[in-house]
Structure 1
Amino acid sequence: MKDWTKHLPPMSTLGPLLALLAACAFFALKTDNFLSAQNFSLVMQQVMVVGLLAIGQTLIILTAGIDLSCGMLMALGSIVMTKLATEMGLHPLVAMAIGVGATTAFGLVNGLLVTRIKLPPFIVTLGTMNIAFAITQIYSESQTVTDLPEAMTWLGDPVMLLGTPVARGVLVLLGLYAAVWFALTHTAPGRHLYAVGNNTEAARLTGISTQRVLLWVYALAGTFYGIASLLSVARTGVGDPQAGQTENLDSITAVVLGGTSLFGGRGVIIGTLIGALIVGVFRNGLTLMGVSSVYQILVTGVLVILAVAADQLSQKQAR
């Protein structure tokens, strides 16, 4: 009886998975078309931007940090790449690379302030969030960038998969989750990241360069935010300077619901994807039921509190 339990996912992943399945079962009973392939494709498209931001957020939270700037960095990256392509006439691929480079540079700055000056991640990213917002508004003059080249919206176009149209960006999202899962579970840098999150001083005493780990984590998170800019632009077809104002909280919600501990060192990246899907399924299902968006936010808030309370209880039991 004990052997089969070894093949089950860890409880931090199994719990969110069961919650996702329960939510799907509930909305399948309450609505007529929730279980359709087209609706699931829509849910994936709706969560692909936040899901990608949540990858970078997961890496940072695993080190016991937090990033409040991710949404505004995404908005900055989208404005940089779209304006360079439409107004400066740069090749779309070059413009997109510069946009991703800009968000990566901001991530690197976050990492330097955390590691070199020893500022708390909350304060650092709160500051860079406001800086990124101001730069975005100034550079864009608070105007939406339109008439984008096709190369910038290519990821938003659908491809047929098992007879269902699926946005290319969704496939990019799933591929990146698979790559990050492999890196975290099968490579030395991934193991070092978990070690730093569990106990920074103990990791340092074993020979791990904790500052270097934190630095590349923040820089890599910035890169993921830049890729999220690509998906945001592809999905909406514009560069929107008002985008990203709630995505930082949405990404944290996905990470927490996915079972990653805010205390660092515990969690799996696949859980984050499940957490993003939980939020997407609830919002989609409640919309199909005709429930006001205000109540959707209410439900999301309750879910976050429950997830953090469960994390706090498990942390106390571990002690």
Structure 2
Amino acid sequence: MRSPVTSPAADGDRRARLRESLRYALRTPTVGPLTALLIAVVVFSITTETFLTPENLSLVLQQSIVIGTLALGQSLIILTAGIDLANGAIAVLGTVVMAKLAFDGASPVTALLLGLVVATFLGLVNGLLVARLSLPSFIVTLGALTVVFAVSRLYSHSRSYPVTSRLLLFWGEGVSLDGVVITWGTFLLVALYAFFWYVLTKTAWGRHIYAVGNAPESARLTGIDVRRTILSVYIAAGLLYGIAAWQALGRIANADPNAYQTANLESITAVVIGGTSLFGGRGSVVGTLIGTLIVNVLRSGLTQAGIDSLYQDVATGTLVVVAVGLDQILRRSAPR
């Protein structure tokens, strides 16, 4: 039987549809990160014997909670074409405030609320400096990084504080599902991402954030209050950093002013690998969640494969550079 012969026109249409599908996939922020995550999981599942064990999967999830929440706040700021180098320092100060107040005899509720207020207030201060005084977010948050870490050490007298309060440790507890321990902090992380996904995609505030990140002057001309939008983003991010501090106490029942020294860089890495553009206006919090998982899957898999931690840093840094490079290429090739 003779095989059917396709016409050159049909072949051309098929190739055109394939090229268009490829372009759409490349311009969809979450496609690349999700593909990278799946490849990493498959590779480490084949090359190591312990990667897919319930204990290791539980550990990967637990390690993603604090950085994932910090990265969520970082995503909001980067979407407005800003950056926050102080988010890890703010979270550390939040843990110290909560733990020290509880250690000194304050009620856990008071300690928790004051820790959240401090983190949110610092987000407000950064937002005012960026939005009202038009200072570069890089400079503002770089200064805040130094100041807040110093305040953490001064307030704590450079000592750590153990945490025993059930309320402050709550997010470290959880349930066991088929041998995999899923903490309440994991459920909270997913809920936070779901909430901000909805806000960014279904509300006017979310559309304003993308508009400001794409072209602030154009956004202003369409009636968007650019300064108010930027300020609100920093306040929301500050609250998220406070929540991350609460989650950190559940992860490790000890508040150390020297903890999370590289959390700011790790959160930026998760955001960039997740497909959010450092130049603002493009990206998705779903991609940031995937990026957070990529970072932790990569570290877990390479550790179990016996790869030195320095080479792990090389691999992670390379991923960041590749992600930013791809973003630049896609921006230049996008229709204007």
Name the structure 1 match of 2:297. Answer: 281
What is the CA–CA distance in structure 1 between the aligned matches of 2:139 and 2:200, rounded to whole Å? 27
Confirm whether residue 76 of structure 1 aligns to residue 73 of structure 2: no
> In the superposition, relative to structure 1, how do residues 154 and 186 fare at CA in structure 2: closer, same or farther (>3 Å)?
same
Match of 1:210 among 219, 226, 234: 226
Q: CA deviation at 1:86?
A: 1.0
Confirm whether residue 156 of structure 1 aligns to residue 193 of structure 2: no
What is the CA–CA distance in structure 1 between the aligned matches of 2:26 and 2:308, rounded to whole Å? 35
What is the CA–CA distance in structure 2 between the aligned matches of 1:9 and 1:235, rounded to whole Å? 36
Q: One-letter code of the match for 1:295?
A: Y
Confirm whether residue 35 of structure 1 aligns to residue 47 of structure 2: no
Pairs aligned (count): 318
Name the structure 1 match of 2:108. Answer: 92
For residues 52-79 of structure 1, give each alpha carbon's deviation from its aligned partner in whole angstroms, at most 9, with x where no partner exists. 0000000000000000000000000000
For residues 265-284 of structure 1, give each alpha carbon's deviation from its aligned partner in whole angstroms, at most 9, with x where no partner exists. 00010000000100000000
Percent sequence identity is: 50
SS in 2 for 1:152: coil
Match of 1:227 among 243, 256, 263: 243
Q: What are the residue-to-residue correspondences of 1:3-152 with 2, within 5 Å? A: 11-87=28-104, 89-152=105-168
For residues 260-312 of structure 1, give each alpha carbon's deviation from its aligned partner in whole angstroms, at most 9, with x where no partner exists. 00110000100000001000000000111121111111111111111111111
Q: What are the residue-to-residue correspondences of 1:235-250 with 2, within 5 Å? A: 235-250=251-266
Deviates more, 1:155-164 or 1:245-254: 155-164
Q: CA deviation at 1:42?
A: 1.1
Match of 1:272 among 288, 292, 299: 288
2:160–2:254 contact (8 Å) kept in structure 1: yes
SS in 2 for 1:160: strand
SS in 1 for 2:64: helix
Deviates more, 1:237-246 or 1:29-38: 29-38
What is the CA–CA distance in structure 1 between the aligned matches of 2:188 and 2:109, rounded to whole Å? 16
For residues 164-184 of structure 1, give each alpha carbon's deviation from its aligned partner in whole angstroms, at most 9, with x where no partner exists. 211111111111001110110
Deviates more, 1:307-316 or 1:147-156: 147-156
Normalised to the residue count of structure 1, the TM-score between the two structures is: 0.96
Q: CA deviation at 1:148?
A: 2.6
Name the structure 1 match of 2:10. Answer: none
Q: One-letter code of the match for 1:228?
A: A
Name the structure 1 match of 2:214. Answer: 198
Larger Cα Rg: Structure 1 or Structure 2? 2
Deviates more, 1:92-101 or 1:132-141: 92-101
SS in 2 for 1:295: helix
In structure 1, the gaps of 5 or more residues are none
2:27–2:330 contact (8 Å) kept in structure 1: no
Q: One-letter code of the match for 2:223?
A: G
Match of 1:297 among 309, 313, 316: 313
Q: CA deviation at 1:147?
A: 4.2
In structure 2, the gaps of 5 or more residues are 1-13
Q: CA RMSD in A?
A: 1.8
Q: CA deviation at 1:151?
A: 1.7
Q: CA deviation at 1:39?
A: 1.8
What is the CA–CA distance in structure 1 between the aligned matches of 2:202 and 2:109, rounded to whole Å? 32
For residues 190-230 of structure 1, give each alpha carbon's deviation from its aligned partner in whole angstroms, at most 9, with x where no partner exists. 11111111110111111111110000000110000000000
What is the CA–CA distance in structure 1 between the aligned matches of 2:192 and 2:87, rounded to whole Å? 17
Name the structure 2 match of 1:259. Answer: 275
2:44–2:51 contact (8 Å) kept in structure 1: yes
Q: CA deviation at 1:37?
A: 3.0
> In the superposition, relative to structure 1, how do residues 158 and 9 fare at CA in structure 2: closer, same or farther (>3 Å)?
farther
Q: One-letter code of the match for 2:73?
A: G
